[in-house]
Amino acid sequence: MNKQKIETYRETMDAAKEVLGQMAGLEIFQRYATGKSNGCLITVPDFHQNFATNSQGLRQNLAETLNQLRSIATVDSNLLDLMLITRRLFKDILASKIYTLPLRTDQLELRQPLSQPMTDYFISTSHNTYLMEDQLKGRSDCLAYEIALKKNCRCVELDIHNGPNGDPIITHGGTMTSRIRFEDVIKTIKRFAFVASEYPLILSFENHCSLEQQDKMAQILTKHLKGTKQNIIET
């Protein structure tokens, strides 16, 4: 694939994402957007009063709403410092657990028995979770795991390879995608694993590491996941 084709692909995907982003929740967004921004921004005070309080019925102060927004944000979070919400951030808000609560709180409980074989369940699964862009030259980032987990993904993939200085890395093998540290990914997963869902989280390892670096992987998993909700099942 030559450079021109890669750039064309990226431009096409960027354009598609922008169009889809504008369509998703656009009508609701514009209902609360400020006229001074030509319908492109919502101020946090307006969001708090008109959407969180009046529309959603939440009983909290402005500071609590702002903290919620910071916990939800995966894009444009820097604009929250200016008390502004973009369309992309509003899309995150609409998809968040906080603002999509069912009418009955008892529906939040895990009601489906988890005693059946894994193959009997539909599981929200992510492939090549670490990639933020394409699979040839794309960027790998821990943020990709945060985004997937905040969207209720219950199975994330880690392609693990030997890294420098005995430190395992995650990357798409045989390509020019960038690399991230296995330990950094595990720390991200620990932080966001059960933010959006209490259902079990599956870590799918595509393991290409030497025995020495597999030992390092085990040390990292024990260090960061020991004492949490993990239950390691050999397959």
Those residues with Cβ within 8 angstroms of residue 124's Cβ, 6 or more apart along the chain or in another chain: 152, 153, 154, 155
Asked about 127 being catalytic, the answer comes back as yes
| Per annotation, catalytic residue among 48, 161, 172, 208 | 172
| Per annotation, catalytic residue among 127, 161, 208, 224 | 127
Alpha-carbon distance of 72 to 128, in angstroms, equals 23
Pairing status of strand 202-207 against strand 155-161: parallel
Asked about 48 being catalytic, the answer comes back as no
Would you please indicate which residues are annotated as catalytic (active-site) residues?
127, 172
